[in-house]
Chain A
């Protein structure tokens, strides 16, 4: 079967996800000598992850509700294939405490934190309170969920505008609404609440002060069941379009002195206090005046390769070891980030139609290569981008000894990338504009960079064009 390392932590792991992350997990399992099963929907029956896996189980139709989000089908697939553990990837059931609990009850190891920890941190209002108790600053906000117009008016009067309304059960930038004017407060509250109910099945929302010119910085941690907690440096994820990340880099540049160190320490302290296990990310907003905690992501993240490139540590491998009850294979002393890494997300989206997803047939798909370029993708020529799921096509990750070389390398790689098909458009062009943007290049960029550029474009101001 595989010629992996001796003594793999599991003999069989089921991957309950799709796309590039399913393939990413299969690859590390293969290297570790672990047999893989990919649970897939009918739409994904010819996906790269399915073709790479040792075994496959078709668990349901295209709509995720009846396949990737349907625990009974996934548990049955694990049982019939003799899987010992389930890797949930990101999204779908990866942060669902009920699913983690169902796995445990069925004698399966869920690769992630314990269910009660996911539940505590999945309630974003509660997570804010718990982390604040560890001494880490949080943004001024409601603390508890707000449920009535009177309450929201009172909180708004206290913390001031602009503010951001977030779903208690939310994450990944969805179900958030920024309020700049007092008259928008109640409509935004009602719409955020109903979106939260529809998307997350939980209408509760909470409120935080919104920092318009802030950086989104996150710290990667790993924690095992033996009390070892380490951090693997930070990532700057401030290049966002409507609260969705598009480009991430490590180390973070342009932060006030000492801030990155403080956030890394705060993350380790909080992870310890929260009894966290597995791979996790502590997210912060950093402005000129403040550095405050926003949320914890209890899973592997889309942008994890950035950290892997600067540290040389395979995060999925550590996740699997932790899940099997093994101690971390590295200590904090072994973590010495080197050089600069960057990731660009190539989404199948049409910039001319307000970045609407554009599924369709890929007639041409030639990813870039060359020194220190990594492409995590599940796409191939002749593959049809399904309309059922998110639009991420590929992640281009580069490493270089310093940030300037990494920028040049990323631009070279994106220019090499050839993606074509009837109606298929991507974010590659927009990302090259970001790489050429002076504000991005000198590291002064904040989460409002892309919104400002969009406004300038709309106002007909001169634009920067790469090359």
Chain B
């Protein structure tokens, strides 16, 4: 949907002393990110439709927005963004094939993941066995596991939800 590019304020740019940069120098990256997120929210609250691209910059304060051509994309329902709402977004890992779901690399071993674990893209979260081939199931996002929907050794079909996750901000 929207992508926000968060740039760290650069320490020197141009010859003149920029008062904004002086003020920003006191902020750490986390505060700057929060300021930007608030900025994004403020902008989205007054725009008529969801933009396809949004670029903010704090040093020399630039804002760029892009919308789809009229009629190109149906109008999207406004989705409020922001830190607390972010947490309600739900991600699911779906079974990419028919087979038997396994939570651990071998019987009795520690499970790959449990509820509450943080996962990274590419991290193995389960196995689906199809025709004696062990197919690793990998996480695709930086996220926290909130629910595991399938029991060990249960058979699953294509497209079946396996694990529910909650996205985390990228480190």
Binding site for B on A (CB under 8 A): 42, 57-61, 67, 71-73, 75-77, 80, 102, 106
Contacts and interface: CB of A to CB of B under 8 A. Distances in A.
B98 A76 contact: yes
Interface SS of chain B: helix, strand, loop or mixed? loop
Given A72-B131, A76-B130, 20 more contacts: A42-B159, A57-B98, A58-B158, A58-B159, A59-B98, A59-B157, A60-B158, A61-B158, A67-B158, A72-B99, A72-B133, A73-B97, A75-B130, A76-B99, A76-B100, A77-B157, A80-B98, A80-B155, A102-B131, A106-B131
Contacts of B131: 71-72, 75-76, 102, 106
Contacts of A67: 158
Contacts of B130: 72-73, 75-76
A73 B159 contact: no
A68 to B, nearest CB: 12
A62 to B, nearest CB: 11
Nearest to B133: A72
Contacts of A71: 131
Given A72-B133, A73-B130, A57 B157 contact: yes
A58 B97 contact: no
Interface in B133-171: 133, 155, 157-160
A58 B96 CA distance: 11
Interface of B: 97-100, 130-131, 133, 155, 157-160
A59 B155 CA distance: 12
B155 A60 contact: no
Contacts of B158: 42, 58-61, 67, 73
Contacts of A106: 131
Nearest to A45: B159
11 contacts: A58-B160, A59-B157, A67-B158, A72-B131, A73-B97, A73-B158, A75-B131, A76-B100, A76-B130, A76-B131, A106-B131
B159 A72 contact: no
A58 to B, nearest CB: 4
Contacts of B97: 60, 72-73, 76
Contacts of B99: 72, 76
A92 B99 CA distance: 21
Nearest to A70: B97
Contacts of A77: 98, 157
Which of A57, A67, A71, A72 counts the most chain B CB atoms within 10 A? A72
A223 B99 CA distance: 35
A222 B97 CA distance: 36
Contacts of A42: 158-159
A76 B155 contact: yes
Nearest 7 interchain pairs by C-beta:
A80-B155, A76-B98, A72-B131, A58-B157, A73-B98, A72-B130, A60-B158
A75 B130 CA distance: 8
Contacts of A73: 97-98, 130, 158
B95 to A, nearest CB: 9
Which of B97, B130, B157 counts the most chain A CB atoms within 10 A? B157
Contacts of A72: 97-99, 130-131, 133
A229 B75 CA distance: 65
Which of B98, B130, B131, B160 counts the most chain A CB atoms within 10 A? B98
Contacts of A102: 131
Contact of A60 (B98, B100, B133): B98
Contacts of B159: 42, 58, 61
A61 B159 CA distance: 8
Nearest to A73: B98
A291 B171 CA distance: 75
A74 to B, nearest CB: 8
B149 to A, nearest CB: 16
A73 B95 CA distance: 12
A61 B98 CA distance: 11
A57 B159 CA distance: 11
A177 B98 CA distance: 39
A188 B100 CA distance: 47
Contacts of A76: 97-100, 130-131, 155
A80 B98 CA distance: 9
Contacts of B160: 58
A61 B158 CA distance: 8
Which of B100, B155, B158, B159 counts the most chain A CB atoms within 10 A? B158
A76 B130 CA distance: 6
A73 B155 CA distance: 12
Contacts of B100: 76, 80
A424 to B, nearest CB: 25
A60 B159 CA distance: 7
Contacts of A60: 97-98, 158
A201 to B, nearest CB: 20
